[in-house]
Chain A
Amino acid sequence: MDFLILNEGFRTLSALLVLPLAGAIVLLISSSVTFARLWTLLITTIIAALSLPLYWGFDVSTARYQFGEHLAWIPSLNINYTLGLDGISLLLVLLTTLLMPICVLASWKYIKTRVREFMVCLLILETSMLGVFIALDFVLFYILWEAMLIPMYLLIAIWGGPRKVYAATKFFLYTLAGSVLLLVAIIALYIKTGSWSIPLMMGQEYSTLFQTLVFLAFFLAFAIKVPMFPFHTWLPAAHVEAPTVGSVILASILLKMGTYGFLRFCLPITPAATLTFMPYILGLSVAGILYGGFTALAQSDMKKLIAYSSVGHMGFVTLGIFVLNTQGVEGALLQMINHGVTTGALFLCVGLIYERTHSRELDAAEGIGKFMPIYITFLAFFSMSSLAFPGTNSFIGEFLILAGGFSQSKIVAGCAIPGAVLAAAYMLRMLQRITWGAKSNPHPEILSDLNLREVFTLAPLLVFVFWIGLRPEPFLSVMHTSVAHLLEQVHQATPHLMTAANLLP
């Protein structure tokens, strides 16, 4: 257990898991719609407040898992209830907890039917998402990983758009297909090591064949989740049909679980296979960056546009992870947070238009700049962030990823550059049409500018856009030690393979 620093006193991590569930149960006893909204807002806000001390209390000097909790769960099978937090998961946990109150605020008016059930889904989703990031026991992890699918399925299938059942089923089947292989890999690892503990599975001497098979199983599960090209086709469908908040959670948090999986499992557990497959994954990442960019440029549906831009942005994240150097991985981690902030905000922005015009088409949103100046100001800053304008959060992430990329291989990083150009093209195209448009908007009478509640959903995200963009150090400092430790794990296992990787052009 030397990987875990046990928590003395208040068990914050358990509280993060239990509170949303308890909140959901309370919701079941009351049928008042207003109570459901207020109660969920209260619960998510309390959780957000509870999670902040995790940042202040976090010890940046150690790569061990902190705030740890360890209880025997099913001793006969050696299954434990182990929780812990390191520099890789800390920011993702905070992103989740801080985003949830915003999601509740954003669905205040948007969700009109079955409000109580909606809020229950959100709370269950919060438990399972947080659990995925802090579980250190594979069984616990897997249960929560799968549990997450159900509320997400319901969010899309009940409160979604016209083709909601199709989209929800596609989402469910894709993710489930990957998860099945994940389960196989987990059981294989258990048979080898006799333990379900994730940290104990790292640094073991597995045979090359075993590593390869486990890696491929992991990879498929996580690549679908990210989603990496060519496993991305479920994403646009799900985003388009999902309610606004569904899209926000999907883009901001669920997609990160794929890349989190790469960092937590693929790299440290199967380092040799990681190095072997690295060039191919870099190739897929670049393909995703370019494919996402070109496809986004051709969309007339704003949600699809942002969905495809996510494919491109997540391509940058996987590129950063698999260049396997400090800048690349830290950039990727930061870009995961950035994408959560920025793309979440962009989906909120699209939702705000949808609530007014009941359309996601760019044509219907043309020329609203004249009527909604506050809205446009927000949209402009978030678009700039999405295209990695210097001074915003995504610039730092992309800069680090590309710097890491260039140190690993000039060709690979060079191939990703057109993706950065495309990002400018599709975001500026969207911004130009929404702000000005070729003609004036056909329905100016329904275009009321943002009210205070709506401003409150966007403003915190804007703060983070510039905070991370101009002072990234507080965000990077928590990951330095953990990332260094992670890369050590990758490189120590297989020094000879690293020289092979250096032969990349």
Chain B
Amino acid sequence: MVIESAKPLIALLAPVAGALLVMLSRKTPNLRETWSFLASAFMFGVIVSMVPNVLGGATLHYTLFNLLPHLSISLRADAFSMVFALVASFLWMVAVFYSMGYMRGLAEHAQTRFNAAFALALFGAIGVAFADNFLTLYLFYEVVSVVTYPLVAHHQDTEGYESGKKYILYLTTTAKGLVLPAMILIYVLTGSLDFANNVSTGILPAGLNHTLVTVLYIFCLLGFAKNGIMPLHHWLPSAMVAPTPVSALLHAVAVVKVGVFSTTRVMLYVFGVNTMDALNLGIPTAYFVSFTVIVASVIALSKDNLKARLAYSTISQLSYIILGVALLTPSGIQGGLVHIANHAFSKITLFFCAGAIYVACRKKDISEMSGLGRSMPFTFAAFAIASLSMIGAPPVAGFVTKWYLLLGALQAHQIGIIVVLLGSTLLNVAYFAPVTFKAFFGKRPAGEDAAGIHEAPLAMVIPLMLTALISVLLGIYPDFIMQFVKAVTG
């Protein structure tokens, strides 16, 4: 059932209005942050108001512009989009508080630009979530690339500019060089770019040249480079020069999830499970991203800088999502998609902790964090909970993912994938456990003393506690997200 409704549009415009108000109130920081928060709360409210309809099996639809025959800029809210939209809009609210604490705590420059670009990044992310066709998806995908550039290059020093250059180079080159031709070719072949209304059929007509379809598929898989699949992942670690709230929301939630969301949306709603099955595209993809899962974890082990370790952990975890969907079994797809939410809450907690540690005592390297747990118990407790989720231990959110992924791998009879999942779990333990362990049980390095170090401002600690708590709740009550995910697979 399709309901014509302007609600997706209203949700989409909230962050734009927020960005404008933020720019207008640049002289009064408190008012400025109030606008940010109101925009995020409003957007979340609108998205929540769509939940009953979507759970009732309806799709909300709104057409903005008709460009060419069968080619429009239009929005849809279905179960698949709700997973991402709910998570991103909720975490934006939390992040507004956190970034206020962080940016003021460090007296960062250009806070207005920062807040405005932040809101616009959410505009792009929600646009991707609500895209009704490939073109709209591509449009907002590019919007995200452009508006996040000022965030990555925020410090405006050599390192910031270099990283910004790398960031925009990787993301626009892949999008224009791979996704754009694939999209135009699909339009030429099918005469339309509208997503299918289920995950099975896709939109490609039968009888197309198999090689051509395979090439198009590979272009889409690699072209959405925000998904962090190796070898096109280098932009992500270098983007970590950005202020931590950016890393937290954008590079654990909005930007990278835009990448995996776009990839999986196109896999399921353009190509479709049937076509992918028939051309045997699923399992090779699963093995291809397994490489990223394992190698990124190994690299994470070698990183002493906490944000760098988290960045590689993100690269590894993102590939879980694609791996799950690529298994093409119901449980696999469910496991992959639910990880969009689970990873978001847990990873944002970890980044929030990294930022809180930096604000509290200017430490970036894990080796310097020994013994800090006793001075900052709440931060490190949250870190521990989120680490458990990343590892996949019950009862935290990540366990739900692992459960469904393993189930999916069993359904697909892929022993190799099971080995990959178990191996990566061990690696997760190896790179996360020492951080918490040393923080609580290690000694302060010689010559340093923990006196004077205490928790970061409440505006930072409360958000990270909240997201850690939700990580646990999602583990204990997985049904809230699972009901959307199950509606996707039908």
Please say whether chains A and B are actual partners in one complex. yes
Task: Report chain A residues within 8 Å CB of B181.
Answer: 402, 406, 413-414, 417
Are A425 and B169 in contact, with the CB atoms below 8 A? yes
CB of B1 within 8 A of chain A? no
Residue of B nearest to A406 (CB): B188
CB of B187 within 8 A of chain A? yes
Known: A390-B135, A470-B65. A438 touches B73 (CB 8 A): no
Interface residues of A in 363-410 (CB under 8 A from B): 384, 389-391, 396, 399-400, 402-403, 406-407, 410
CB of A420 within 8 A of chain B? yes
Main SS at interface, chain B: helix
CB of B185 within 8 A of chain A? yes
> Which of B170-178, B277-285, B435-443, B454-462 binds A?
B170-178
CB of A473 within 8 A of chain B? yes
Are A399 and B184 in contact, with the CB atoms below 8 A? yes
A-B pair number, CB within 8 angstroms: 68
Interface residues of A in 53-81 (CB under 8 A from B): none
Interface residues of A in 469-497 (CB under 8 A from B): 470-473, 476
Known: A421-B176, A421-B177, A428-B172. A390 touches B139 (CB 8 A): yes
1/0 contact trace for A400-444 toward B, CB 8 Å?
101100110010011001101100110010001000101000000
Interface residues of B in 152-189 (CB under 8 A from A): 153, 156, 161, 164-165, 168-169, 172-173, 176-177, 180-181, 184-185, 187-188
Are B184 and A406 in contact, with the CB atoms below 8 A? yes
Residue of B nearest to A390 (CB): B139
Complex partner residue of A473 from B64, B66, B73, CB under 8 angstroms: B66
CB of B68 within 8 A of chain A? yes
Complex partner residue of B153 from A384, A389, A436, CB under 8 angstroms: A436
CA distance A389 to B181 in the complex (A): 14
Task: Report chain A residues within 8 Å CB of B146.
Answer: 384, 389
Measured CB to CB, the closest approach of chain A to B203, in angstroms, equals: 16
Are A403 and B187 in contact, with the CB atoms below 8 A? yes
Known: A406-B188, A421-B172, A425-B169. A400 touches B68 (CB 8 A): yes
Task: Report chain A residues within 8 Å CB of B64.
Answer: 470
Interface residues of B in 51-70 (CB under 8 A from A): 64-68
Which residue, of B64, B66, B164, B180, has the highest number of chain A Cβ atoms within 10 A? B180
Task: Report chain B residues within 8 Å CB of A418.
Answer: 177
Are B176 and A417 in contact, with the CB atoms below 8 A? yes
CA distance A436 to B66 in the complex (A): 36
Complex partner residue of B68 from A406, A417, A420, A472, CB under 8 angstroms: A472
Are A470 and B184 in contact, with the CB atoms below 8 A? no
CA distance A403 to B64 in the complex (A): 23
Task: Report chain A residues within 8 Å CB of B180.
Answer: 402, 417, 420
Which residue, of B169, B173, B184, B185, has the highest number of chain A Cβ atoms within 10 A? B184
On chain B, the number of residues with a Cβ less than 8 Å from chain A's Cβ atoms is 29
Task: Report chain A residues within 8 Å CB of B153.
Answer: 436
Are A472 and B67 in contact, with the CB atoms below 8 A? yes
Known: A403-B187, A414-B181, A436-B156. A396 touches B68 (CB 8 A): yes
Task: Report chain B residues within 8 Å CB of A390.
Answer: 135, 138-139, 142
CA distance A417 to B188 in the complex (A): 15
Measured CB to CB, the closest approach of chain B to A386, in angstroms, equals: 13
Main SS at interface, chain A: helix
CA distance A473 to B135 in the complex (A): 17
Are B142 and A389 in contact, with the CB atoms below 8 A? yes
Are A391 and B188 in contact, with the CB atoms below 8 A? no
Measured CB to CB, the closest approach of chain B to A332, in angstroms, equals: 15
Residue of A nearest to B171 (CB): A424
Which residue, of B68, B73, B169, has the highest number of chain A Cβ atoms within 10 A? B68
CA distance A428 to B188 in the complex (A): 29
Are A403 and B156 in contact, with the CB atoms below 8 A? no
CA distance A425 to B176 in the complex (A): 11
Measured CB to CB, the closest approach of chain B to A422, in angstroms, equals: 9
1/0 contact trace for B404-433 toward A, CB 8 Å?
000000000000000000000000000000
Residue of B nearest to A420 (CB): B176
1/0 contact trace for B63-82 toward A, CB 8 Å?
01111100001000000000
Complex partner residue of B188 from A396, A403, A414, A472, CB under 8 angstroms: A403
Task: Report chain A residues within 8 Å CB of B142.
Answer: 389-390
Are B185 and A410 in contact, with the CB atoms below 8 A? yes
CA distance A406 to B153 in the complex (A): 37
1/0 contact trace for B135-155 toward A, CB 8 Å?
100110010001001000100
Task: Report chain B residues within 8 Å CB of A417.
Answer: 176-177, 180-181
Task: Report chain A residues within 8 Å CB of B156.
Answer: 436
Measured CB to CB, the closest approach of chain B to A389, in angstroms, equals: 6
CA distance A436 to B64 in the complex (A): 33
Task: Report chain B residues within 8 Å CB of A424.
Answer: 172-173, 176
Are A406 and B185 in contact, with the CB atoms below 8 A? yes
CA distance A470 to B149 in the complex (A): 25
CA distance A292 to B345 in the complex (A): 46
CA distance A432 to B161 in the complex (A): 10
Residue of A nearest to B139 (CB): A390
Task: Report chain A residues within 8 Å CB of B177.
Answer: 417-418, 420-421
Measured CB to CB, the closest approach of chain A to B156, in angstroms, equals: 6
CA distance A384 to B172 in the complex (A): 12
Residue of B nearest to A370 (CB): B110
Residue of A nearest to B215 (CB): A410
Task: Report chain A residues within 8 Å CB of B73.
Answer: 391, 470
Are B139 and A421 in contact, with the CB atoms below 8 A? no
Are B65 and A471 in contact, with the CB atoms below 8 A? yes
CA distance A223 to B245 in the complex (A): 53
Task: Report chain B residues within 8 Å CB of A428.
Answer: 168, 172
Task: Report chain B residues within 8 Å CB of A402.
Answer: 180-181, 184
CA distance A205 to B153 in the complex (A): 63
CA distance A418 to B172 in the complex (A): 12
Residue of A nearest to B183 (CB): A399
Given contacts A414-B181, A428-B172, A470-B73, 13 further A-B contacts (CB under 8 A): A389-B146, A390-B139, A396-B68, A399-B68, A402-B180, A402-B184, A417-B176, A420-B176, A421-B176, A424-B172, A432-B164, A471-B66, A473-B66
Q: List 21 A-B contacts (CB under 8 A).
A: A384-B146, A389-B146, A391-B73, A399-B187, A402-B180, A402-B181, A403-B184, A413-B184, A417-B177, A417-B180, A420-B176, A420-B177, A420-B180, A424-B172, A424-B173, A432-B149, A470-B64, A471-B65, A471-B67, A473-B66, A476-B68
| Closest 8 pairs (CB-CB, A-B) | A390-B139, A470-B65, A421-B176, A424-B172, A421-B177, A406-B188, A402-B184, A417-B181
